Amino acid sequence: MNKPVNGISNSVNAASNANAEKDDLEQAVLAYGRPREAKAAPKTVHPEIDRLFNSPEAKAIKEEICAVGWKLWMRSYVDGNGGNISCRIGENAVLCTPTLLSKIDLKPEHLCLVDMEGNQLAGELPRTSEVFLHLEIYKHVPQAKAVVHCHPPHATAYAITGCIPPSAVIPEFDVFVGSVAITQYETPGTKQFAETVIPFVQDHNSVLLGNHGIVCWADTPTHAEWYAENLETYCWTLLISNQLGVPYAKIPPAKEQDLLAIKKRLGLPDARFRLKEEMSSHIPERPGTIALAPQDPHANRQSSAVTVRRDEIEAIVKTAVDAAIAALKPK
């Protein structure tokens, strides 16, 4: 017989957990297609909710979200029906994009309204399956009013290799984004996926999502999209610089502190604020390294990741080839 745990038997607990996992997976399915039995968008809307959803303020934000969706598609930051955008318009009200709709085709009438638990309150189309990622950010960062999730290729290249870009290289990036975190992979659309950002949201406005893409948040949808542009262009620039065959120049530590002071005055987050001045981003790095070991929520470098430059790989290969040739020569 199962022993009771807090008044509930283990078998009941197991059944409850299994149901929760099933519900979570069903949410994830919506990112890839909509089963026939999936719950449809609400047919009737409460008058107060309808007034909020169709207010002049909401209308302006819907148009801004559509403009952001257009920019994401035009910049190749999303493909197919990928990516999602949201904006918090009330204590318990969030506008968000629908599922299974290309961002280039997005129109104001396509947007949805959900509460802070993800329940859809209004909108003709079903809301995005990844809305819970947005909601976790809003719950843990009260100043966040808009969230953009997308899959820009160069930043996503970092996300799939488990690496983060270095800081203190380009001043504009350092001020607006700066330190970047990376999450562990979880199935998109699930509760576990949404919770992966929680350890990082206080110290970062942009996070690489492991094996998936990026998520950025700000005070407006437009500004959140700007951060996505900042991060993608920065990753792209670093990758291009690596092709030149010489190390890039780091911003000197004292000048980096100037940028952090500017950033703090602007009210932007950065994990380096938790570190002492002499540590900053100048934890020992190989010169020219464009991919660093990720940081944990407390900005401690994880020892499990290894960074190797192209010239170091070439040197290793050359040494091995020279040794093999030498071994084949007659003595």
> 161: closest CA among 235, 109, 101?
235
Tell me the one-letter amino acid at 167: S
Specify the pairing of strand 84-90 against strand 8-9: unpaired
Cα atoms in the 13 Å half-sphere on the side-chain side of 160: 9
CA distance 1 to 68: 57
The three-class DSSP label of residue 292 is strand
CA distance 262 to 186: 35
Tell me the one-letter amino acid at 53: F
The three-class DSSP label of residue 25 is helix
Contact 110, 98 (CB under 8 A): yes
Tokens 């994990």 correspond to what residue? 271
The three-class DSSP label of residue 108 is helix
Tokens linked to 35: 């089963």
Specify the pairing of strand 93-96 against strand 112-114: antiparallel
Number of Cβ atoms within 10 Å of the Cβ of 194: 23
Q: What is the gyration radius of the CA atoms in the chain, in angstroms? A: 23
Residues with Cβ within 8 Å of 28's Cβ and at least 6 positions away in sequence, in order, are: 129, 187, 188, 189, 190, 193
130 part of the active site: yes
- Strands in the chain per DSSP E: 4-5, 8-9, 84-90, 93-96, 112-114, 120-122, 146-150, 181-182, 206-209, 213-218
Q: Which residue in the list 26, 64, 130, 232 is annotated as catalytic?
A: 130
What are the residue numbers of the active site?
130
